Amino acid sequence: MTTLDQFRQKLEEATNKSHPREHGKNVDELRDIYPHNIVCISNPLSTDNLMPRIYNPTEDCFIYVFKDILSPEMLKSFLDAYERNEKLDSRIEYRLISEGFIDLHKGQNENDIVIVYFNNSNPAHFAKIANNIITSKWGRGNVWRHGLWEVPLSYGDEVMYSNGRIKESIFEEVIRTIV
Q: What is the pLDDT of residue 139?
A: 82
Q: What is the pLDDT along the chain (179 residues), one digit of tens a residue?
A: 889 999 999 999 999 888 888 899 999 999 999 999 999 998 655 444 444 444 566 678 998 999 989 999 998 888 888 777 665 555 788 889 999 999 999 999 999 999 999 999 999 999 999 999 999 999 878 999 999 999 999 999 999 999 999 999 999 998 888 75
Q: What is the pLDDT of residue 92?
A: 81
Burial of 62 (0-12, 13-18, 19+ CB in 10 A): buried
Q: What residue numbers bound the domain in which 156 lies?
A: 3-177
**Structural domains of the chain, count:** 1
Q: What is the pLDDT of residue 58?
A: 66
Q: What is the pLDDT of residue 141?
A: 85
7 Cβ neighbours under 8 A, 6+ residues apart = 30, 34, 36, 150
Question: Distance (Å, rounded) from C-alpha 143 to C-alpha 159?
Answer: 19
Question: Measuring CA to CA, how many Å separate 73 from each of 60, 78, 141?
Answer: 18, 9, 25
Q: What is the pLDDT of residue 82?
A: 75
pTM value?
Answer: 0.89
